[in-house]
């Protein structure tokens, strides 16, 4: 883990209306986390950076993207045991990767398994289908041949990097979906409404989310390739880092150790420190100024906590979060949620300045230079910890990126927050 020393000055104006005496600490910067923070993740993890490169990180190492900053995610498990596409046998028809199933031939289309190609660190399975279709049909590529146990009302997401190379002829329709089966292995849902993916020869990550139906007990992630009778085809499908996880959106790629296919769990990432380690007087308060990016709306029943200051519990806290069930960013004191600050656009960076005045019992936040919104009746004593990306219980995980973040060891005037939020 790379760390950065705090920037400290006894008197800095920061472009505000009046100077004040305060220390300033850089909490998060390019590839660096303030040394006062404790970071933990009890597993390896990976990241697709903003340039599409797959970067793998060892256990306990923060994941930084050079453009988007530090990513903090909750725990997820990839039920696809072989997302690296290992164990294939090239040839016609060849053998697909271990634990994958790809039919051959189908409606007069011949299959050829090609050697994989590595693009930006991702190993892509390549399967060629060619010929003139003798019927309208679907190629059902099973990304995991073991059924994953699911339960009614759960939400699951299948994702993969997908591309297609058209050598000649027509272009098939390609989609991702979760095939749901009942206790007798009878098909309940094949998600025939799963949208057709917009594909080129450059693979892009796609995902499909579905709610498990009442009588379903197993789910199987698939890639469906649809073609039409009498049309000629010759195409190569590229599939990389497939994932099947319980959750309302796709999280970062989750890969097992190379040459060891297995269901892979990524542990939660927890980042916290004490206020005393940052030189903050807990009876006075502080200001956080930063840039953040939330890649997706918050699912129903799951807040996305950007950060909170608390007494090591969620009962006594000031918090800044994207509230469950949408894209509205708000503050929270204890269990009481404040007014809307703004509606974020997924995967679009925003800047903010947040001031916590403990003596007044308030948290005030300005986002993107907008008018500050204040929530009152907060705790006036007992605060001990600052944490990013989760609540005190380690839940409400952010699944978000944090770029430059700085702390001023005192609250600043509410009228200064809009200007300060634009000068991170």
Condensed to tens digits (0 to 9), the pLDDT of residues 324-378 reads 999 999 999 999 999 999 999 999 999 999 999 999 999 999 999 999 999 999 9
| Euclidean distance between CA atoms 211 and 278, whole angstroms | 44
CA distance 269 to 60: 8
* Mean of pLDDT values over 202-225: 97
Tokens (6 digits) for 417: 């927050």
pLDDT score at 24: 86
Using DSSP's 3-state secondary structure scheme, residue 388 falls into strand
Q: Which residues 6+ apart lie within 8 Å of 260 measured at CB?
A: none
Tens of pLDDT, residues 94-151: 999 999 999 887 899 999 999 999 999 999 999 999 999 999 999 999 999 999 999 9
CB 45 within 8 A of CB 257: no
Q: What is the pLDDT of residue 30?
A: 86
Task: Tell me the C-alpha to C-alpha distance, in Å, between residue 1 and each of 32, 266, 307.
Answer: 8, 18, 21
At residue 424, the pLDDT reads 84
The phi and psi torsions of 137 (rounded to 5 degrees) equal -155, 180
Q: Which domains does the chain have, with CATH numbers?
A: 11-43+59-73+269-421 (2.60.120.200), 110-265 (2.60.120)
Two structure tokens written together for 92: 């016609």
Q: Which residues contact 184 (CB under 8 A, 6 or more apart)?
A: none
Mean pLDDT for the chain overall: 94
């Amino acid at each position: 883990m790379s760390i950065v020393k705090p920037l400290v000055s006894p008197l800095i104006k920061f472009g505000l209306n009046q100077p004040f005496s305060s220390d300033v600490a850089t909490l998060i910067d390019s590839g660096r986390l303030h040394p006062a923070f404790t970071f933990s993740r009890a597993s390896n993890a990976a990241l697709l950076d903003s340039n599409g490169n797959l970067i793998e990180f060892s256990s306990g190492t923060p994941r930084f993207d050079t453009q988007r900053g530090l990513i903090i995610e909750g725990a997820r498990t990839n039920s696809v045991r072989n997302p690296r596409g290992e164990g294939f046998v090239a040839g016609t028809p060849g053998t697909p990767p271990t634990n994958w199933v790809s039919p051959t031939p189908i409606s007069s289309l011949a299959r050829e398994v090609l050697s994989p190609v590595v693009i930006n660190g991702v190993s892509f399975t390549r399967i060629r289908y060619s010929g003139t279709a003798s019927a309208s049909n679907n190629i059902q590529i099973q990304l995991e041949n073991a059924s994953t146990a699911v339960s009614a009302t759960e939400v699951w997401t299948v994702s993969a990097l997908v591309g297609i190379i058209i050598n000649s002829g027509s272009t098939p329709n390609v989609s991702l979906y979760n095939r749901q089966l009942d206790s007798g292995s009878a098909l309940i849902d094949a998600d025939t409404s799963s949208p057709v993916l917009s594909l080129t020869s450059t693979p892009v990550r796609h995902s499909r989310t579905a709610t498990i139906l009442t009588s379903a007990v197993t789910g199987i992630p698939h890639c469906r390739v649809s073609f039409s009778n009498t049309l000629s085809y010759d195409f190569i499908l590229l599939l990389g880092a497939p994932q099947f996880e319980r959750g309302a959106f796709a999280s970062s790629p989750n890969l097992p150790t190379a040459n060891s296919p297995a269901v892979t769990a990524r542990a939660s990432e927890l980042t916290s420190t004490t206020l005393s380690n940052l030189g903050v007087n807990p009876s006075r308060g502080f200001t956080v100024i930063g840039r953040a990016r939330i890649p997706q709306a918050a699912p129903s029943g799951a807040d996305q906590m950007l950060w909170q200051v608390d007494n090591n519990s969620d009962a006594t806290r000031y918090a800044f979060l994207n509230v469950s069930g949408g894209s509205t960013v708000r503050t929270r004191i204890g269990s009481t949620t404040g007014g809307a600050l703004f509606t974020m656009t997924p995967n679009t960076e925003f800047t903010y300045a947040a001031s916590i005045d403990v003596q007044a019992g308030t948290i005030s936040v300005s986002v993107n230079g907008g008018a500050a919104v204040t929530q009152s009746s907060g705790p006036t004593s007992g605060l001990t910890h600052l944490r990013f990306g989760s609540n005190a219980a380690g839940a409400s995980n952010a699944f978000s990126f944090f770029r430059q973040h700085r702390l001023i060891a005192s609250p600043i005037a509410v009228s200064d927050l809009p200007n300060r939020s634009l000068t991170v």
